[in-house]
Amino acid sequence: MIMVTLDKEQIHRIIYDPGDTAYLTHNFHPYSAKFIPQLPGYLIRSLSSQDETILDPFCGSGTTLVEAKLLGRRSIGVDIHPLGAFMSRVKSTKIANDRLSATQPLMKRIKRRVESHVKHHGESGFAYSIPDFKNRDHWFQPHVLQELSIIKSSILDEDLSRELREFLLLGFSSIIVYVSNQESETRYSSYKKRIPPLHTYQTYRKKISDMVRRMREFNQVASDCEVVCYNADVRELNFLEDNSVDAIVTSPPYPNTYDYYLYHKQRMNWLDMEWEFLKEVEIGSRLKHSSQGMGIDSYMQDMQEGFEHFRRVLRPDRNLAIIIGDSVIQDELYKGDNMVANLSESVGFKILDHVDYDLGLASRSFNRAFRSTSKREHILILQNLK
């Protein structure tokens, strides 16, 4: 049976004391403001039945899609961030165990190439290419650059299935900020870290071995339900059919909180992904609201365009679960529940239930910006009144 009221005690338990939040493929790659996976898990179970279709139109790192696959629901993910859409696909795609075994000989080949490069002062005997992008040498120390280049060229040089190549490239992407001069996942300033020779390769080897173990476990417990990921703009969802979705579970960008394009810029440089366009199309970025001085109206306009599609693609009377935080723009506090109430009223959703909690205490809020504030985060369940 579909339950549209929220069990507040259970939600508070999930938020404040969720236990392991990095199980299975959830741990593959860092991403800011990921869901605590138990939360979309709870919402998917409450709002849908087996084999129904779940949409997450701001899927980010794909947490909702992984949970949908674990719970036997089909799912569709959309994100404007090419890396987000990419990691969503890899995290929710099974790879047969015998295919995963091919990673072992590959790791040995990479080790030989990196070691002989270190021993022979730059000569590895393996033809690899070093990518060229703006400020490359500011962000990467020379030996890190060489080791990353050997790893990437080795992956591309192999005759692999698309799934396995993407899996290996996602592991590669996950270590890039750590071995670069970028301070942290959410701080885009540079300092020279102490990264000894071979450390980049060793970090990659450990990462892949962990990912292989997790993928084997995922293979055992995940359903075979289809997952489709689109790298697209939430305001342009015409490619999704009317009434094609049974529930929406999502968390939009909170206004003036993150710059997703910025934190992952170096990764996208290595993965040959475009990122310049994200400055224009990323909704709610700090760039737009802090640097360019845009007010809340532009955010609400963008969200309204998304909401109109949500109403169109969601079946009548079915539910949209949205998780949104309070935000401050130019010293003014905007409450997440009020934003959703305005959007619901103008587009045609009815609010059925609402739970909120202190954002600074929630365990996913590793962003220092939230820790000392009294901002709250809200979960709202809406019904499609069409």
Closest CA to 158 of 105, 200, 114: 105
* Residue 278 in tokens: 């994200």
Chosen residue from 30, 82, 84, 255 binding ligand SAM by CB under 6 A: 84
Residue 283 binding ligand SAM, by CB under 6 A? yes
Residue 282 binding ligand SAM, by CB under 6 A? yes
The span from the CA of 95 to the CA of 106, in Å, is 16
Contact 6, 379 (CB under 8 A): yes
316 φ, ψ (degrees, to nearest 5)? -55, 140
Chosen residue from 42, 44, 54, 60 binding ligand SAM by CB under 6 A: 60
Residue 269: helix, strand or coil by DSSP?
helix
Q: How far is the CB of 204 from ligand SAM (least distance, A)?
A: 23
* Residue 289 in tokens: 């609201």
Detail the DSSP E strand segments found in 69-190.
Answer: 74-79, 182-184, 187-190
Q: How far is the CB of 258 from ligand SAM (least distance, A)?
A: 7
Residue 251 binding ligand SAM, by CB under 6 A? yes
Closest CA to 61 of 21, 40, 34: 34
The span from the CA of 269 to the CA of 232, in Å, is 19
Show contacts with ligand SAM in window 21-40 (CB under 6 A).
Answer: 31, 33-35
How many residues lie near ligand SAM (CB under 6 A)? 22
Chosen residue from 73, 81, 143, 214 binding ligand SAM by CB under 6 A: 81
Question: For the chain, what is the total number of helices (H) and then of strands (E)?
Answer: 17, 11
For ligand SAM, the closer CB: 117 or 286:
286
Residue 61 binding ligand SAM, by CB under 6 A? yes
Show contacts with ligand SAM in window 254-273 (CB under 6 A).
Answer: 260
Q: How far is the CB of 316 from ligand SAM (least distance, A)?
A: 24
The greatest distance separating any two alpha carbons of the chain, rounded to the nearest whole angstrom, comes to: 69
> What does the chain come to in residues?
386
Residue 79 binding ligand SAM, by CB under 6 A? yes
Q: How far is the CB of 167 from ligand SAM (least distance, A)?
A: 18
Residue 63 binding ligand SAM, by CB under 6 A? yes
Interface residue list for ligand SAM (CB under 6 A): 31, 33-35, 58, 60-61, 63, 78-81, 84, 233-234, 251-253, 260, 281-283
